[in-house]
Amino acid sequence: MTLKSNLKNILLVIFTTLLLSACSTAKKSGDIDGDVYTGKETVEYLAAGVPDRVFFATNKSSLTTASRATLRKQATFLRKNKKLNVVIEGHADERGTREYNLALGERRANAARDYLMTYGISGKRLSVISYGKEKPVNPKSSPIAWSQNRRSVTVKVN
Amino acid sequence: MKKFIFIFLINIFSITNLSALIEVDITRGNLDPLPIAISPLHVDIKSEKYKDLNVKELGDKISGIIEKNFRNTGLFNPLKKDAFVQKPDIAHLKPRFEDWRLIKAQALVTGKLLISSDKLKVEFRLWDLAAAQEMTALAFTTTPSNWRRVAHIISDKIYERLTGEEGYFDTRIIYVAESGPKTQRIKKLAIMDQDGFNTKYLTLGNELVLTPRFNPTNQMVTYMSYFRNMPRVYLLDIETGTQEVVGNFPGMTFAPRFSPDGKKIIMSFAKDGNSDIFTMDLETRLVERITEHSSIDTSPSFSPDGKFIAFNSDRSGLQQIYVMRSDGSNVKRITFGKGIYGTPVWSPRGDLIAFTKMHKGKFFIGVMRIDGTGERLLTENYYQEAPSWSPNGRVLVFYRETKSGNKGEGFSAKLWSIDITGYNERRLLTKTDASDPSWSSLLSK
């Protein structure tokens, strides 16, 4: 009897684990829209409610509606902190040739910079650097990780 | 250190005999490699030791290097030494051809060496066993510490004699040595002999360095560095270690390569979200714009005659390969196949362009004619890119990365090579992980 109930328990545990992992996978794929990352993992904050990064689709540098909202928050934050300068780091995922990715990262960082400038932030406060695919934030080889790595990150300089 | 003295010892046989001699066809994949016997070099012992060199072992070591070089070509089958039928010194004087033919050898390499008055003297002979005659005989004199290079030069001479093409053994590869976790890679410039020996690190790893490439004389290297967090193109003198920034524009300069005459560096310059191609004359420092387009134009590579430039651009929407005149005129797209194309590199012979192709989540290294026709994909993998040509245009070296798990485990970056026939894919041994290889030209030419 004990053996039977033990088995039952084990099966139950296995089943629950499977169910949970299925749930977490489902939740993760929900963090991607098109192939732009929309989740919160890896995101840091310049101040409360001001995310430091925006994400891009494969081979693209256009800003999504969500990215523009994030950048407007950054612009508000930068207007309030007039002495603060930032560097915008542009990044690409690992699924592209190194040199092209350097150019792509530069293009992405500038897309973010241009948007901040249209919201009144002086270009002098916004420098840009591309790391291409050299500094992934998530080392995994998976579509989710790649989407987290296709990003531009606004970093305080002073 | 660099100077070699070539002395042609013997050249007995007349040119009319040549057509009868063995030849190796290297234009196709060779499934029936030529059996070759490489006898250990006979050591004429004046002294057992020369500084830290064990002179006695040198004959075996040199023939071992030649043997490995030849096995790695895939074109030759070096035979096992325990089947050899004659002592090295006697074989070198006059082989008993019929005995060597018995072990199925078609060619035989013999030689001898000695060290006297601080010089290493090496001679070798290449014999055609079927025709029972000598094909080549050469002697070298150099400083003893150069013994590995002597082995590579001998390999080149034999390869040249048997295939009718220049060899690629007395060459080096510059690359980026990688270490550390995937999210915090440490990268250093490294240089090694093509067989993986004599690795030297040229930078310390304090800053990110990428894409080193040799100049035509192999003395200078152009590469990209993030020194002081300013991504720029640099020039490094390998002998003196002097480094200088050459692409110091406000923005990012990257993807550098030398022009075939070594006088210019061609590179991309990115500013305000746009990358275009420029050249800089190293003497006058004159900068010339080559492309002007709102797309990403990068990975430029000159044709060997300097008249054309291949590059990749996403002006059509996705990365494709284009060819233009070296003044930027007459831009023509040459890739129209399925997938996206990057990193075009013109072959030293001028007839082919090697490239990276991405299609359906796979990466391919391939070659095509310079008008984009005749595409041949040589190898497919999870990730690989950045082909660089052997100086004779027969072999490509590139790097390959593996998939990694949650924490980046399982990740590696290694150098690989493949013949343009699509055969003979093999890993190049490096002391660390490695990427961005660039093959030198022949060091002694």
ipTM field: 0.92
Percent of chain B with pLDDT over 90: 85
Optimal mutation site among A128, A141, A142, A148, interface B, most CBs of chain B within 10 A: A141
CA distance A96 to chain B (A): 8
Q: Tens digit of pLDDT for each residue in B373-386?
A: 999 999 999 999 99
Q: Are residues A146 and A84 in the same domain?
A: yes
Q: Are residues A47 and A102 in the same domain?
A: yes
B372: left (phi over 0), alpha (psi -120 to 50) or beta: left
- In this prediction, residue B117 has a pLDDT band, given cuts at 50, 70 and 90, of confident
**Distance, CA of B370 to CA of B181 (rounded, Å):** 39
Which residue from B164, B101, B90, B109 is spatially nearest to B132, judged by alpha carbons?
Answer: B101
User: Does the pLDDT value for residue A145 go beyond 50?
Assistant: yes
Contact B359, B339 (CB under 8 A): yes
Between β-strands A86-91 and A126-132, what pairing exists: parallel, antiparallel or unpaired?
Answer: parallel
CA distance B290 to chain A (A): 17
**Distance, CA of B390 to CA of B135 (rounded, Å):** 25
- Report the run of H or E that residue A129 belongs to, with start and end: strand A126-132
- In this prediction, residue B41 has a pLDDT band, given cuts at 50, 70 and 90, of very high
By Cβ distance, the residue of B252, B385, B435 closest to A102 is: B252
Percent of chain A with pLDDT over 70: 81
Q: What contacts A40, CB < 8 A, 6 or more positions away?
A: none
Q: Are residues A40 and A97 in the same domain?
A: yes
The pLDDT, as a whole number, for residue B293 is: 97
By Cβ distance, the residue of B231, B319, B405 closest to A100 is: B319
User: Does the pLDDT value for residue B273 go beyond 80?
Assistant: yes
Between β-strands B186-193 and B297-302, what pairing exists: parallel, antiparallel or unpaired?
Answer: unpaired
Contact B367, B355 (CB under 8 A): yes
Q: What is the mean pLDDT of residues B282-311?
A: 97
The pLDDT, as a whole number, for residue B315 is: 97
DSSP state, residue B134: E
CA distance A129 to chain B (A): 8
Q: Tens digit of pLDDT for each residue in A14-27?
A: 444 444 444 444 34
User: Does the pLDDT value for residue B31 go beyond 80?
Assistant: no
Q: Are residues A16 and A68 in the same domain?
A: no
Interface touch B275/A107, C-beta < 8 Å: yes
The pLDDT, as a whole number, for residue B23 is: 66
Helix (H, G, I), strand (E, B) or coil at B73: helix
CA distance B385 to chain A (A): 7
Q: What is the 3-state secondary structure (H, E, C) of B351-414?
A: CEEEEEEEECCEEEEEEEECCCCCCEEEEEECEEEEEEECCCCCEEEEEEECCCCCCCCCCCEE
The pLDDT, as a whole number, for residue B53 is: 86
Optimal mutation site among B406, B433, B438, interface A, most CBs of chain A within 10 A: B406
Which residue from B75, B40, B53 is spatially nearest to B392, judged by alpha carbons?
Answer: B75
Q: Tens digit of pLDDT for each residue in B231-249?
A: 999 999 999 999 999 988 8
Helix (H, G, I), strand (E, B) or coil at B170: coil
Domain coverage including residue A13: 1-30
Q: Tens digit of pLDDT for each residue in B177-230?
A: 999 999 999 999 999 999 999 999 999 999 999 999 999 999 999 999 999 999
The pLDDT, as a whole number, for residue B343 is: 98
Q: What is the mean pLDDT of residues B101-117?
A: 93
The pLDDT, as a whole number, for residue A9 is: 56
Q: Hey, what domains does chain B have and what are their CATH numbers?
A: 5-163 (3.40.50.10070), 172-233+315-439 (2.120.10.30)
List the single residue in A with minimal CA-CA distance to B384: A97
Q: What is the mean pLDDT of residues B422-435?
A: 96
Residue with tokens 């101040």: A47
Measured torsion, CA atoms of residues B248, B254, B257, B262, in degrees rounded to the nearest 10: 0
Optimal mutation site among A28, A61, A100, A101, interface B, most CBs of chain B within 10 A: A100
Q: What is the mean pLDDT of residues B323-340?
A: 97
- In this prediction, residue B48 has a pLDDT band, given cuts at 50, 70 and 90, of confident
Q: Are residues A67 and A124 in the same domain?
A: yes
The full DSSP string for B182-207 is GGG-EEEEEEEETTS-S-EESS-SSS
Q: Are residues A38 and A75 in the same domain?
A: yes
**Distance, CA of B283 to CA of B294 (rounded, Å):** 30
Q: Are residues A55 and A100 in the same domain?
A: yes
Helix (H, G, I), strand (E, B) or coil at B94: coil
The full DSSP string for B227-294 is GGG--EEEEEETTT--EEES---SSEEEEEEE-TTSSEEEEEEEETTEEEEEEEETTT--EEE----S
Contact B134, B91 (CB under 8 A): no
Burial A17-51 (b: 16+ CB within 10 A, else e): eeeeeeeeeeeeeebbeebbbebeebbeebeeebb
Alpha helices in chain A (DSSP H): 2-29, 65-80, 98-118, 143-149
**A73-87, A109-123, B110-124: segment of lowest average pLDDT:** B110-124
Q: What contacts B283, CB < 8 A, 6 or more positions away?
A: B263
Please report, for the domain that includes residue A62, its CATH number: 3.30.1330.60
Q: What contacts A45, CB < 8 A, 6 or more positions away?
A: A51, A52
Helix (H, G, I), strand (E, B) or coil at A75: helix
* Tokens read off for B228: 């002081």
Q: Are residues A57 and A3 in the same domain?
A: no
User: Does the pLDDT value for residue B12 go beyond 50?
Assistant: no
Contact B312, B298 (CB under 8 A): yes
Domain count, chain A: 2
Whether A129 contacts chain B with CB within 8 A: yes
Instruction: Give the phi and the psi of residue B442 in degrees, each rounded to 5.
Output: -60, 135
List of chain B residues whose C-beta atoms are within 8 Å of the C-beta of residue A98: 210-211, 385-386, 435-436
Q: Tens digit of pLDDT for each residue in A60-106?
A: 999 999 999 999 999 999 999 999 999 999 999 999 999 999 999 99
Interface list for A 46-75 with B (CB within 8 A): 59, 61
List of chain B residues whose C-beta atoms are within 8 Å of the C-beta of residue A129: 229, 231, 252
User: Does the pLDDT value for residue B32 go beyond 90?
Assistant: no
Interface touch A59/B401, C-beta < 8 Å: no
List of chain B residues whose C-beta atoms are within 8 Å of the C-beta of residue A115: none
Q: Burial, B54: exposed, middle or buried (Cβ in 10 Å; 0-12, 13-18, 19+)?
A: exposed
Measured torsion, CA atoms of residues A37, A41, A47, A51, in degrees rounded to the nearest 10: 0
- In this prediction, residue B404 has a pLDDT band, given cuts at 50, 70 and 90, of very high
**A84-93, A102-111, A120-129, B79-88: segment of lowest average pLDDT:** B79-88
User: Does the pLDDT value for residue B19 go beyond 50?
Assistant: no
Mean pLDDT for chain A?
A: 88
Q: Are residues A25 and A45 in the same domain?
A: no
* Tokens read off for B356: 């990276």
Interface touch B404/A61, C-beta < 8 Å: no
Q: Are residues A73 and A134 in the same domain?
A: yes
Q: Tens digit of pLDDT for each residue in A15-59?
A: 444 444 444 443 445 699 989 999 999 999 999 999 999 999 999
* Tokens read off for B382: 């999870």
Contact B321, B353 (CB under 8 A): yes
Q: What is the mean pLDDT of residues B2-7?
A: 38
Q: Are residues A24 and A44 in the same domain?
A: no
Q: Are residues A65 and A121 in the same domain?
A: yes
